[in-house]
Chains A and B, each alone.
Chain A
C-alpha cells in the first residue's frame, strides 16, 4: 500500500460491503434456486442494486494497491458516479449489444444508480449526520 493512511474505509471489511455480499449470497444460494417462476426482483433488479455496494469496494481496493487511490477515505461521490456510469454503459449496452450477453432493461439503470446512491449515503452517514465516522 502507498504510505498515506488517511481515512478509515475498510474495503472488504466495510459493513456495507459485507451486508451487500451477504444479501447477494443468500439470494444466489437460497432464494433463486427455489423460485419456480422468473422473478424480476430476485433474478435481476436485486443484483443490479447490489452492484455498487459489493463491487466498488473491491475495485477501489485494487486502485489503492496500484497506487491510483491516494488514501483510504470512504468512496467519494465522483468515484461512485464514475463507476455507475461505466457499469450502466458496460452492462446495459456493451454486454447485450457487443458481447451478446445479458438483456437491456432501463429499470436496471435505475437500480444500479439507486444502489449507488444508497451505498454512498451509508458510507457517509456519519458525515451526513454531523458525526465523523472512522472504521478501520
Chain B
C-alpha cells in the first residue's frame, strides 16, 4: 500500500493539514498547467 502525501510528510490534523493539502494541490495544478502549455 502506497502511503499518501500527508502521511509521508508528517502533516496531520486540522487547519494545518487542510492548508497543506490546498497548497500542494494548487502547486501541482500550476506546475502541470505550465507543463501542458509548453509540452503539448
Taking Cβ atoms with an 8 Å cutoff, the residues of A that contact B are 1-2, 24, 47, 51, 55, 58-59, 62-63, 65-68, 86-87, 90-91, 95, 99, 101-102
Which positions in B face A, CB cutoff 8 Å? 1-2, 4-6, 17, 21-22, 24-25, 28-29, 32-34, 36-38, 40
State how many angstroms separate the Cβ of A67 from the closest Cβ of chain B: 5
From B25, B33, B37, A68 is in contact (CB under 8 Å) with: B25
Given contacts A1-B1, A1-B4, A55-B32, contact A66 B25 (CB under 8 A): yes
The answer to whether B28 and A59 have CB atoms under 8 Å apart is: yes
Determine the main DSSP class of A at the interface with B.
helix
